[in-house]
Amino acid sequence: MSRAVTNSRATPQDPAPESRPARKPRRRTVAAATAASAVLLPLSSGLLSAQPGGGPAFLHGVASGDPLPDGVLLWTRVTPSPEAVPGSGKGAPVEVTWEVAEDEEFSTVAARGTAKTRARTDHTVKADVRGLRPDTTYWFRFSAGTVRSPAGRTRTTSAENAAVGNLRFGVVSCSHYEAGYFAAYRHLASRTDLDAVLHLGDYIYECATGEYPVTGKIVRKAQPEHETVTLADYRVRHAHYKLDPDLQALHAAHPVVAMWDDHEFANNAWSKDAENHTSAVEASPGTAGAGAGAEGDWAGRVRAAKQAYFEWMPVRPSTEGTTYRRIRFGRLADLHMLDLRSFRDHQPRRILGHHVADDPDRTITGRAQLDWLKSGLSGSTAQWRMVGTSVMIASLAFDAVPTDTLRSLAKLLGLTLTLDQWDGYTDDRRELLTHIRDNRIANTVFLAGDIHMAFANDVPLRAAGPSQPSPVATEFVVASVTSPNLDDISLVPSVDVSSRARTDIRRSNPHVRWLDTDSHGFGVLDVDTERVQMDYFVLSDKTDRHATAEVRSSYRTRSGTQRLEKADAPVRT
């Protein structure tokens, strides 16, 4: 595709036209967030609340996202009548009231407004609330008639130039409903020390029942059971996810900053195509999507997927069809969230050397987004510059990986191996990392998911090799919440396959300081002026809805070093 694309706004968009402006909050001190567990949020009591005779109900919980110093985006879905199920197109318009309070009893309301929702937006509700105080915890809820939603807790960011001593984020990626339970979300929901949760993509999976998890290992079925292709399909899939109690608890406990990856659309999606589609401009032989067309028009499908995403996620709507954006957390950190699906060229289908991946006319970001990111990194006055990138930016080579392990990796990652990541778009990576080096942009931290394995990477300018230059950035990659990893999908019936894979991958990639190929879980990222540390939490068993979690490893980068080191102990709550 052309490198010239429309740039995303770096500032928040205006509130949705159907939301009334929020009034100014009262000027008084807001109490600090209670240290009680997030389970105090009345989720279970509110999930099935409805008027007798089939009146409105809030069945899908509440959520908040994209926090700002003076506001936050609130979300819910109201079911106005029993037949108005998600994706049905049925149900009368409903006026919903929202309110934001300084205390969980809602005795001091800081802002209140109304929004009208209809079948054309699948009866989802968004309120872009402004006029709040920076660095403050609030509680929020919705009501329709006499029926109230569950309550949620959210938090604004610090003022742009405020001194911030510490930030803490939950970090998650790749939550396949049929592959396991969302215990990772439950553990993050129970914490009261997080400023936000970052979801780096694959929040939903589009595939049909049994299509993606390892054969015979379906833990629970998603709805609809067929692959999501139409607008109604995507709405039903989003809605089914949001009936999960652990996911509802996560959204009720913390603001979420989310970015899509491919499975919010279709596997290995790129700007003009995906698997089982025929692109408007036919892919050349040897590239993903060539010769396929069984699932119809790609442009119509991606429009449907994006519409459902903007309806069902606590993300500010965009008229430009993208979600890349920047959120500032005082003088401590800037967070750049990248859209790596809307503008990218097709992935090389198989590794035939690096001539295709290195083509300077191919892009993963698009010209405008890459320029926006470079400008944002150069212009940042924050101590740390964090980049949320759904796919891993550090390179991976497989020179020392035996054939049997390589086959398992190929099955996990697809025929492209790592070429769906930045490895398939090396000119964009070279340009970005060269910009960071040449402009002496210190303290750049990339956050990624997608690969279903956990990594702690130094990020050198050049590709992997035996002689490594000084890194220009750091990368933390989190394991999947549930989606199959190397251990789940291995073709090798050996108990030590994961251990061998870790050894083989690290032998070829000395910039990989640590990796975990066979766990599921989440990360907790702790940021202060001296260092950024990632604690990698692993679940005891993703197929157990009551799974426990413990820290497997911790890595940190100190300010000014761009190098990772093992941390002796996890950050305490």
- In tens digits, the chain (573 residues) has pLDDT values of 333 222 233 333 333 333 333 333 332 222 222 222 233 333 333 334 444 567 899 999 999 999 999 999 999 999 999 999 999 999 999 999 999 999 999 999 999 999 999 999 999 999 999 999 999 999 999 999 999 999 999 999 999 999 999 999 999 999 999 999 999 999 999 999 999 999 999 999 999 999 887 767 899 999 999 999 999 999 999 999 999 999 999 999 999 999 999 999 999 999 999 887 865 444 444 444 443 456 778 999 999 999 999 999 999 988 788 999 999 999 999 999 999 999 999 987 654 445 678 889 999 999 999 999 999 999 999 999 999 999 999 998 876 666 666 666 666 665 456 789 999 999 999 999 999 999 999 999 999 999 999 999 999 998 655 556 789 999 999 999 999 987 787 655 444 556 777 778 888 889 999 999 889 999 999 999 999 999 999 999 999 999 999 999 999 999 999 999 999 878 765
Q: For residues 81 and 53, what is the distance between their CA atoms, to the nearest angstrom?
A: 9
**Around 308, how many Cα atoms within 13 Å sit in the side-chain half-sphere?**
29
* CATH superfamily assigned to domain 38-155: Purple acid phosphatase-like, N-terminal (2.60.40.380)
Nearest in space to 100 (alpha carbons), one of 133, 57, 51: 133
Contact between 416 and 349 under an 8 Å Cβ cutoff? The reply is yes
CA distances from 131 to 51, 72, 137, 252 (A): 33, 10, 14, 21
The values of phi and psi at residue 388, to 5°, are -85, 110
Question: Which helix or strand (DSSP H or E) is residue 245 part of?
Answer: helix 245-253
Instruction: Write the DSSP assignment of 427-469 as a string of letters.
Output: HHHHHHHHHHHHTT---EEEEE-SSSSEEEEEE-SSPS-SSPP
pTM to 2 decimal places: 0.87
Q: Domain boundaries in the chain?
A: 38-155
Name residue, tokens 């590239």.
Answer: 287
Cis peptide before 21 (omega within 30 of 0): no
Question: Which helix or strand (DSSP H or E) is residue 476 part of?
Answer: strand 473-477
User: Quick one: tokens of 86?
Assistant: 């998600």
Question: Which helix or strand (DSSP H or E) is residue 415 part of?
Answer: none
Cα 534 to chain centroid distance, Å, stands at: 16
**What 3-state class would DSSP assign to 270?**
strand
User: Quick one: tokens of 298?
Assistant: 């790609």
Q: For residues 515 and 478, what is the distance between their CA atoms, to the nearest angstrom?
A: 10
